[in-house]
Chains A and B, each alone.
Chain A
Amino acid sequence: MFDAPENMPALPHKPGVGYKPQHFTEIMENPDPVAWLEVHAENYMGHGGRPLAQIRHLAERFPISVHGVGLSIGGEAPLDPEHLARLKHLVSWLKPTVFSEHLAWSTHGGEYFNDLLPLPYTKATLTRVAEHIDQLQNTIGRQMLLENPSSYLAFAESTWSEPDFLRELANRTGCGLLLDVNNVFVSATNLDYDPRSYINDYPLEAVGEIHLGGHDEDEDDHGKPLLIDSHGAEVVDPVWSLLDHTLSLSGPRPILVEWDTDVPEWPVLAKECQRAAAALIKVPA
């Protein structure tokens, strides 16, 4: 269990955006309404050059959220000590406001698959993931936020619901949660449950950040909708509605717009962030 200090730094309850180098100039000139930035940890693990120079500049002006995509917290094997050391180094010099990672695995047998792979929600997974979260939090010396996945299938062996599983992890480890509302919508559509019930069951008091993003639409073998989390499109209306529902229960939270593939021009992203700002204005503080 990680004992978080009383005055944990927090992101502002405003829109943030997943930072892309092509938007550097626009963000430095007029970021409105974006109040904070998120970067993928693994893109800033070089020794120097433009990426590190840019993030140093940005960190002087904006609160930064570092979002890990490669630690494989759900992996069966022990966490990679070299990758833990890289994360520790990054967090120690960049001093981000928050650090987050995923409830997923991505490395096995020394191979990294560059994707977030699913976990069965069992006692064995719970014990292992809790140990890994403890290890990470102790290594970087701070609380982390854990993000819910996009699911395309379910495990017959699962004995926990996802909200209960996340609540138990937060209780055991003292970690916070990163609620990806698009992931909830994608998973609920794919596994045919009500996304609002998921949000109603979710431990919203532990949420330190919300993610929004776009998805692609496909079909399964039976012609049922199969949504793919792509971060390559605008956030759809039902996800904005689900955000409103979430905020009405949770109160205002930092909201990130993620757009990682087919990245649009800055005005398109800024417009998505305006919409997130509008959703926040409706919520009583």
Chain B
Amino acid sequence: MSIDQTEFRTAMLDAEVAVPEGLLDGHGNPAGRRFSVYRNNVAVSLTEALETGFPVIAKLLGDANFKPIAGLFLRQSPPSAPVMMHYGAAFPGFLRGFEPLQHLGYLPDVAKVELALRRAYHAEDAQAIAPDALGQIDPEQLPLATFTFAPAMELIRSDWPIYDIWAYNMIEGAPKPQSRPQDVLILRPEFDPAPHALPAGGADFITAMRQGQTLGDAAESAENMVENFDLGTVLGLLLTNGAITQIAIEDKL
């Protein structure tokens, strides 16, 4: 009459399944609702982890919706490792595929922002270059500069106003979101990561720089994507938030 952990797990995650036989109270009677302590601990602790990790999603859905949705998700995708700081990596995909939430198309991308904020919080430390470092470079050489970015930097592109939605729910007095595509850059100057809305073309520029393109080439590809690409704003954002850890000048061939 031995109970294996597969049987225990099945009954723990599904309250419709009978409590395994051979679990007792202190007097040899069936354990009954004592088993529910485990059912409850698992569901409550994982729901709380999701609520802590996705505060904006929790707020947008409201407690009455978030808890049952989290309950479905945690049974479908329990953590794959005992390091809870990364739990919920599959949540954006779950939200995208969850039929009753199809009318809230922005939820998966907002969840991606929240996941990226957590990754940034735990990312490797890095020494940023001085905010005036670009000014020290010979203007003729500047287009040949390549950047190394801090490990905490995260880029999320979206067809939805994901920065505005995040800010409206997290920052007192932030304006109501207007329908528009928005790309978010997460930067961590010291220990506290924060999302920033990128101007049009900014995400193309940063993607190109990340791939090792020169400043000149990356700016040009962004200019090809959008009119009036605002390179100054993007560089200012990167420099004042410690996003660049190294500048190199590519040798002219």
Contact = CB atoms under 8 A, between A and B. Distances in A.
A157 B3 contact: yes
Interface string A106-119: 11111111110110
B31 A153 contact: yes
A270 B29 CA distance: 42
A50 B81 contact: no
Contacts of A69: 82
A152 B152 CA distance: 43
B5 A108 contact: yes
A222 B24 CA distance: 13
Contacts, number: 147
Interface in A203-261: 218, 220-222, 224, 226, 228
A220 B82 contact: no
Interface residues of A, number: 54
Given A71-B82, A107-B82, A114-B79, A51 B122 contact: yes
Interface in B91-139: 121-125
Nearest to A83: B82
B171 interface: no
A156 B79 contact: no
Contact of A76 (B5, B34, B83): B5
Contact of A108 (B6, B22, B35, B38): B6
A17 to B, nearest CB: 21
Interface string B24-55: 11111101111101100110011001000000
Interface in B184-213: 188, 191-192
Interface residues of B, number: 47
B4 interface: yes
A46 B85 contact: yes
- The winner among A83, A86, A154 for most chain B CB atoms within 10 A is A154
Interface string A100-141: 000001111111111101101010100000000000000000
A231 B42 CA distance: 16
A168 interface: no
A49 to B, nearest CB: 5
B244 interface: no
Contacts of A83: 81-83
22 contacts: A46-B85, A46-B123, A48-B123, A49-B121, A70-B81, A71-B82, A105-B5, A108-B9, A110-B80, A112-B81, A114-B79, A115-B42, A122-B2, A152-B31, A153-B23, A153-B24, A156-B1, A156-B24, A156-B28, A157-B1, A222-B25, A222-B29
Leading 8 A-B pairs by shortest Cβ distance = A70-B82, A46-B122, A192-B26, A191-B26, A50-B191, A153-B31, A48-B125, A47-B124
Given A48-B122, A157-B2, 6 more contacts: A42-B82, A46-B85, A53-B191, A108-B9, A112-B80, A155-B24
Interface of B: 1-6, 8-9, 12, 22-29, 31-35, 37-38, 41-42, 45-46, 49, 78-85, 121-125, 151-152, 188, 191-192
